[in-house]
Amino acid sequence: MHPIRKQRLFVVLFIVVGSSLAAFFIISALKQNLNLFYEPSRVANGEAPIDRQIRVGGMVAEGSLIRQTNSLAVNFIITDFAANVAVEYTGILPDMFAENAGTVVTGFLSESGTFFAEQVLAKHDENYMPPEVSAALDSAKQSATQLNN
């Protein structure tokens, strides 16, 4: 083969093999790290998996926030006003975290139905509601009105 052609072939092979390897790694890493969002209603329905990291979002139910007195462990309930999810978290809550405010938590659901949060996010200013939370509240509201009719 002509040396230039041979060299081009090498380069093309390198790019093809390299990029398919890269694509394989990228996609498998992506698959492992996708966190799907669940509304409290879907968690209550048993739709959420227990073996992988997920996100749950809704409002922090009024009067549900309980702090342990000797550690930073907290318990609270996330609600979409149709169903509740009990959450346990150890650590510092964000500045804007409060009862009756929207939140999104990332973590694992246990067999018992308690959600062990590893990360708690809250809205970052007064007027802002995470879009996923407002969608969750809307869909819960809709199904509630359908039931009433």
Cα distance between residue 84 and residue 87, in whole Å: 10
> In whole angstroms, how close is the CB of 116 to other proteins at the nearest point?
16
Contact 102, 57 (CB under 8 A): yes
Tell me: does residue 46 bind other proteins (CB under 8 A).
Answer: no
Burial of 51: CB neighbours in 10 Å, binned 0-12, 13-18, 19+:
exposed
CB of 48 to other proteins, least distance (A): 12
Least distance from C-beta 67 to other proteins, angstroms?
6
- Binding to other proteins by residue 35, rule CB under 8 A? yes
Please report where in the chains the tokens 């749950």 appear, as a residue. 56
Task: Out of 44, 65, 83, 96, point to the residue binding other proteins (CB under 8 A).
Answer: 96
Q: Which one, 14 or 143, has the nearer CB to other proteins?
A: 14
What token pair was written down for 17?
């093999």
Q: Fill in the per-residue mask, 51 to 80: x = in contact with other proteins (CB under 8 A), - = not in contact.
A: --x-x-----------x--xxx--------
Q: Of 85, 84, 125, which Cα lies nearest the Cα of 106?
A: 85
